[in-house]
């Protein structure tokens, strides 16, 4: 018998025994090592996704772990292989899939939301979802591959190129990852963030950060771009003010990439879109190439994943970790350790101690 963290109802999680499901044809049984808690998990915890999530539901989709068993017909994988999972299952028959956009399948099963996720000690998934990890990459750091893949996809959707000026509005985990991926692409990057804790971390990572409560963002962008405006803005804040800022900083034919999930319709300055011929693009999830690039960026240290990990807790303390994340601004990423009952902290280099 193994343990799993389950969503029961709004603001109620438990840790309960779970019977592992043996891998069937084309499936692989994994032993999750570390699982990150993300904003979507918090939305589920708050009860905001009850129309979609069938309780009791095992959460978690940002993970790393190892193969335990392979099912019939599975080739190329063996017990002990280090992996992460691209948690998408599509139908290959809908118009989106037939157009080559399987990652936004019209009947998408997002594993960890629509079906059981990784926050358990044994997890059976389709072998097609596995992404190989290098043996040299520590598994705690590898748990950040999935959010890094989100950032890689976002930067690709915005078509960021070397030398462009990019503004990231919102300096939470995904915003910081977008800024780091854009910088690795050769762009000049500025981050706009209210939280002093998050601004400090961004500065420690070598990013230039502006405080919208204290700084005149428009004047700073004008000075930075010689009044041309930014080439690209990413809206990652999820706030109405963030939308306004992301639109206002853009220059002629600038691109706004919408990353945050806004819970309600927002007013948008469409005159600005008309006057400057702006472009709005949505960015959702990722594909396999995004994941593979994310693995490389985390493995070579371009993404200093350990610096983004605020805390690691044992599986039995996962419910309390969700509550800690609600405090928000002084916490970036909490990982759940599915392998042990021992708490961990990280030193300044992000090494488990």
107-133 burial, b if ≥16 CB within 10 A, otherwise e? ebebbbbbebbbbbbbbbbbbebbbeb
Confidence class of residue 43 from pLDDT cuts 50, 70 and 90? Answer: very high
**Is residue 342 very low, low, confident or very high in pLDDT (cuts 50, 70, 90)?**
very low
Q: Token pair for residue 206?
A: 């070598």
Bigger pLDDT: 330 or 59? 59
Catalytically annotated residues: 40, 43
Residue where the block lists tokens 């940002």:
62
Q: How many CA atoms lie within 13 A of 10 on its CB side?
A: 6
Q: Tell me how far apart the alpha carbons of residues 170 and 190 are, in angstroms, rounded to a whole number.
A: 10
Q: DSSP letter at 281? A: E
Cβ 335 vs Cβ 143: under 8 Å: yes
pTM reported for the whole predicted model: 0.95
Which residues, 6 or more positions from 312, have their beta carbon under 8 angstroms from its beta carbon?
34, 140, 334, 335, 336, 337, 343, 344, 345, 346, 352
pLDDT band at 329 (very low <50, low <70, confident <90, very high): confident
Q: Is the pLDDT of residue 258 over 60?
A: yes
Q: Using pLDDT thresholds of 50, 70 and 90, give the confidence band for residue 353.
A: very low
18-32, 40-54, 74-88, 317-331: least confidently modelled range: 317-331
Give helix then strand counts, H and E, for the chain: 12, 18
CA dihedral sign of residues 323, 333, 327, 179: negative
Residues 259-285 pLDDT 10s:
999 989 999 999 999 999 999 999 999
- Mean pLDDT, to the nearest integer, of 81-95? 98
Distance CA(261)–CA(242), nearest Å, equals: 12
- Environment class of 32 (CB within 10 Å of its CB; exposed 0-12, middle 13-18, buried 19+): buried
**3-class DSSP assignment, residue 72:** coil
Question: Is residue 328 scored above 80 in pLDDT?
Answer: no
| Contact present, 329 and 283 (Cβ < 8 Å) | no
Give the residue with greater pLDDT, 326 vs 175: 175
**CA 175 centroid distance within chain:** 9
Quick count: other Cβ atoms within 10 Å of Cβ 212?
Answer: 16
């Amino acid at each position: 018998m193994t343990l799993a963290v389950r969503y029961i109802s709004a603001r109620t999680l438990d840790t309960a025994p779970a019977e592992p499901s043996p891998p069937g044809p084309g499936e692989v049984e994994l032993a999750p090592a570390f699982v990150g808690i993300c904003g979507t998990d918090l939305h589920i915890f708050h009860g905001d996704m009850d129309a979609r999530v069938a309780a009791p539901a095992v959460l978690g989709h940002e993970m790393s772990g190892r193969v335990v068993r392979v099912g019939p017909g599975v080739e190329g994988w063996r017990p002990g292989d280090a992996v992460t999972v691209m948690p998408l299952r599509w139908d290959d028959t809908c118009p989106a899939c037939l157009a080559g956009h399987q990652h936004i399948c019209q009947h998408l099963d997002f594993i960890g939301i629509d079906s059981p996720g990784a926050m358990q000690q044994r997890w059976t998934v389709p072998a097609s979802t596995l992404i190989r990890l290098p043996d040299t990459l520590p598994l705690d750091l590898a748990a950040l591959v999935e959010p890094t893949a989100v950032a890689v996809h976002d930067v690709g959707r915005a078509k960021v190129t070397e030398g462009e000026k990019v503004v990231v509005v919102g300096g939470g985990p995904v915003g910081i990852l977008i800024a780091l991926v854009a910088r690795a692409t050769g762009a000049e990057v500025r981050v706009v963030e209210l939280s002093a804790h998050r601004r400090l971390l961004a500065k420690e990572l070598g990013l230039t950060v502006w405080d919208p409560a204290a700084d005149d963002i428009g004047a700073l962008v004008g000075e930075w771009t010689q009044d041309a405006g930014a080439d690209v803005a990413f809206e990652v804040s999820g706030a109405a003010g963030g939308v306004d800022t992301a639109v206002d900083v853009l220059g002629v034919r600038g691109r706004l990439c919408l990353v945050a999930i806004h819970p309600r319709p927002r007013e948008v300055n469409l005159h600005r879109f008309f006057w400057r011929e702006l472009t709005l693009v949505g960015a959702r999830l990722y594909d396999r190439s995004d994941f593979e690039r994310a693995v490389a960026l985390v493995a070579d240290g371009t993404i200093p994943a350990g610096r983004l990990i605020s805390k690691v807790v044992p599986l039995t303390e996962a419910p309390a970790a969700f509550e800690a994340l609600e405090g928000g601004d002084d916490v970036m990423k909490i990982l759940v350790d599915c392998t042990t009952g021992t708490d961990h902290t990280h030193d300044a280099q992000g090494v488990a101690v």
